[in-house]
């Protein structure tokens, strides 16, 4: 139950992929960096041999880019692979027990924990509080006994961003309670404010994705940043050759493309604001402010997310229905920020549907 399943949309409709506007997956619409595309094309000759199991070039590039020792970085086949490995690490390095998930949240945290036999509970944030964490309430909940805490920053799907000091306060709270904090920064390249460097010393695990910001979702590439003990433990769980050669080459090239990074920041600052204004102009829709490359919207009128999703699908537009997320209801959905023409079409079609 993810967004971004354009293949299913193609099967269920008569439209070619080029005629489907996918707002359900929050991927950079600028496409991969030109440097990454060039690296992939030139790297085809390296497909026959096995990939470098140590990911030496990629780790070196990430180390230089972030100013973090290579020994504190673990590349993987997307950050989702790491989400499924971390629950296996918890009983090995930390006390076995329940995990707490800040919700609404990415559904794979709970699935991964359950697969490893770890019970999870949700710390469900309130719309009245702006879907923000109340530290005192969190401390009282953690006092009931947990081994790990999972949270995303920026939060997915709400788009709420916590500043570095706020995240570090949460990490310190976890340390006092003997809880391992897992901070998912899959979308932080769009907002800034990473606590990666602090994670090396704090005992937290920070997860990063290169598939969203650099538009490499089809290649699968992510990494973890943590202290050496945690990285060594995770390394023993990662399957051999987890990161394929083309993913590694594209990752190295993407990090070096500073112009692409600047262009993405310029695009997002303008188009997110434009889309937010467009959605706000539709009677019956209430978009929430976002620090990410997606916007969560609440339908306040008679429309619900399922109906809007179905109506838009008939027009070749995909959105993410959030009605099944803990803490949300039938009116909530999420849309990615795409290019201007696509965003305008979404706003136009939503306005037409809401008028019916």
Using pLDDT thresholds of 50, 70 and 90, give the confidence band for residue 174. Answer: very high
CATH number, domain with residue 57: 3.40.640.10
Task: Report the pLDDT value the prediction gives residue 3, as an integer from 0 to 100.
Answer: 54
Looking at the structure, do residues 238 and 305 belong to the same domain, yes or no? no
Lowest mean pLDDT among 35-39, 93-97, 245-249: 93-97
> How much is the pLDDT for 218?
94
Element (H, E) at 180: strand 180-184
Q: Is residue 152 part of a domain?
A: yes
Token pair in block for residue 264? 């993405």
Confidence tier at 12 by pLDDT (50, 70, 90): low
- Cβ burial of 128 (10 Å; 0-12, 13-18, 19+) is exposed
Same domain, 109 and 244: yes
Burial (0-12, 13-18, 19+ Cβ within 10 Å), 160: buried
- Any domain includes 106: yes
Angle between helices 245-256 and 56-66 (to 10 degrees): 20
Domain of residue 327, CATH code = 3.90.1150.10
Do 158 and 238 have their domain in common? yes
Residues 200 and 68 in one domain: yes
Q: Given a cut of 70, is residue 354 above it in pLDDT?
A: yes
Q: Which domain holds residue 327?
A: 6-31+259-355
Residue 270 in domain = yes
Q: Please check whether residues 101 and 232 belong to one and the same domain.
A: yes
Which of these ranges, 17-21, 43-47, 130-134, has the smallest mean pLDDT? 17-21
310-154-311 Cα angle (round to 5): 5
Domain co-membership, 165 together with 44: yes
Q: What is the DSSP string of 195-236?
A: -HHHHHHHS-EEEEESTTTTT-TTT--EEEE--HHHHHHHHT
User: In which band, very low, low, confident or very high, does the pLDDT at 240 lie, cut at 50, 70 and 90?
Assistant: very high
Query: For residue 156, which of 192, 103, 111, 100 has the smallest C-alpha distance?
Result: 103
Let me know whether 96 and 235 are in one domain: yes
pLDDT digits (tens, 9 = 90+) for 288-339: 999 999 999 999 877 899 999 999 999 999 999 999 999 999 999 999 999 9
**pTM for the whole thing?**
0.94
- pLDDT(156) > 90: yes
Number of domains in the chain: 2
**pLDDT bucket at 41, cuts 50 / 70 / 90:** very high
pLDDT value of residue 93: 79
Question: At 42, is the secondary structure helix, strand, or coil?
Answer: helix
CB-based contact 264:28 (threshold 8 Å): yes
- 1 assigned to some structural domain: no
Q: Quick one: 250 and 317 in the same domain?
A: no
Regarding whether 171 and 65 lie in a shared domain, the answer is: yes
The model's confidence at residue 201, banded by pLDDT at 50, 70 and 90, is confident
Last residue of a domain, one of 256, 290, 320: 256
SS (H, E, C) 268-318: HHHHHHHHHHHHHCCCCEEECCCCCCEEEEEECCCCCHHHHHHHHHCCCEE
| 69 found inside a domain | yes
DSSP-based three-state secondary structure for 190: helix
174 CB-near residues (< 8 Å, 6+ apart): 142, 149, 180, 181, 204
Does 17 lie in the same domain as 51?
no
> Which of 256, 280, 302 is where one domain is finished?
256
**% of the chain residues with pLDDT over 90:** 88
Out of 226, 256, 286, a domain closes at 256
252-288 per-position pLDDT tens digit: 999 999 999 999 999 999 999 999 999 999 999 999 9
Rounded CA gap, 232 and 236, in Å? Answer: 7
Based on the domain organization, do 123 and 237 belong to the same domain? yes
State residue 6's pLDDT score.
66
């Amino acid at each position: 139950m993810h967004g971004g399943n354009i293949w299913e949309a193609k099967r269920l409709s008569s439209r070619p992929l080029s005629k489907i506007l996918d707002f359900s997956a929050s991927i950079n619409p600028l496409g991969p960096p030109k440097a990454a595309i060039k690296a992939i094309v030139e790297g085809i000759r390296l497909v026959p041999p096995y990939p470098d199991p140590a990911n030496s070039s990629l780790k070196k590039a990430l180390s230089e880019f972030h100013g973090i020792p290579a020994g504190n970085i673990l590349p993987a086949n997307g950050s989702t692979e790491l989400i499924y490995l971390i629950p296996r690490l918890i009983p090995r390095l930390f006390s076995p027990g329940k995990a707490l998930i800040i919700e609404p949240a990415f559904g794979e945290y709970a699935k991964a924990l359950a697969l490893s036999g770890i019970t999870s509970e949700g710390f469900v944030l309130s719309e009245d509080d702006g879907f923000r964490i109340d530290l005192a309430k969190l401390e009282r909940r953690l006092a009931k006994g947990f081994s790990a805490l999972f949270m995303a920053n920026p939060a997915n799907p709400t788009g709420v961003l916590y500043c570095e000091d706020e995240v570090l306060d949460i990490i310190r709270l976890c340390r006092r309670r003997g809880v391992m904090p897992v901070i998912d920064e899959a979308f932080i390249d769009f907002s800034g404010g990473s606590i990666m460097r602090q994670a090396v010393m704090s005992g937290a695990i920070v997860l990063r994705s290169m598939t969203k910001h650099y538009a490499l979702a089809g290649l699968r590439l992510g990494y973890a940043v943590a202290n050496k003990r945690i990285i060594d433990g995770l390394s023993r769980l990662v399957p051999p050759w987890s990161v394929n050669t083309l993913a590694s080459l594209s990752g190295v090239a993407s990090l070096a493309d500073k112009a692409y990074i600047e262009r993405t920041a310029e695009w997002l600052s303008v188009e997110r604001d434009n889309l937010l204004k467009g959605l706000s102009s539709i009677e019956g829709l209430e978009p929430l402010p976002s620090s990410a490359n997606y916007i969560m919207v609440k339908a306040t009128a008679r429309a619900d997310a399922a109906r809007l999703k179905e109506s838009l699908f008939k027009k070749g537009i995909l959105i993410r229905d959030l009605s099944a997320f803990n803490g949300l209801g039938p009116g909530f959905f999420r849309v990615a920020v795409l290019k201007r023409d696509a965003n305008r079409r979404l706003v136009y079609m939503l306005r037409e549907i809401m008028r019916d």
